């Protein structure tokens, strides 16, 4: 999927400030952060949205959550609090159609609900 910016980042065709990588996921700092800590965790496999999760790739989402937890500790926001957000579809604000989790913290965040 050459038109996907996140796939291009996975292939190292576009630079990113990578903070974690293994065989299943990649994490990098958001280029337009909304808080002092704003990291994106993505599966290396292209999955367009939460609606496209299959039994064959469901395990990667648990791994993404674990990586988000570890990155929150490294960023020093685990104890004070952080948010993990996955936007799904146009009404949610999903802009890049490669599923990703935002790890956001480092300041008091407003309530969503």
> Which positions are annotated as active-site residues?
100
Residue 61 CB-half CA count within 13 A = 17
Number of H helices, E strands in the chain: 2, 5
Give whole-number Cα distances, 20 to 72, 73, 88, in Å.
12, 13, 23
């Amino acid at each position: 999927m050459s038109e996907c910016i996140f796939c291009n980042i996975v292939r190292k065709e576009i630079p990113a400030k990578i903070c974690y990588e293994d065989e299943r996921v990649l994490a990098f700092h958001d280029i337009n952060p909304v808080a002092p800590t704003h990291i994106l965790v993505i599966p290396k496999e292209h999955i367009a949205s939460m609606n496209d999760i299959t039994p064959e790739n469901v395990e990667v989402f648990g791994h993404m959550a674990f990586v988000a937890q570890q990155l929150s500790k490294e960023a020093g926001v685990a104890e004070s609090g952080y948010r993990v957000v996955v936007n799904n579809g146009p009404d949610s604000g999903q802009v890049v159609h490669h599923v990703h989790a935002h790890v956001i913290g480092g300041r008091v965040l407003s309530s969503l609900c």
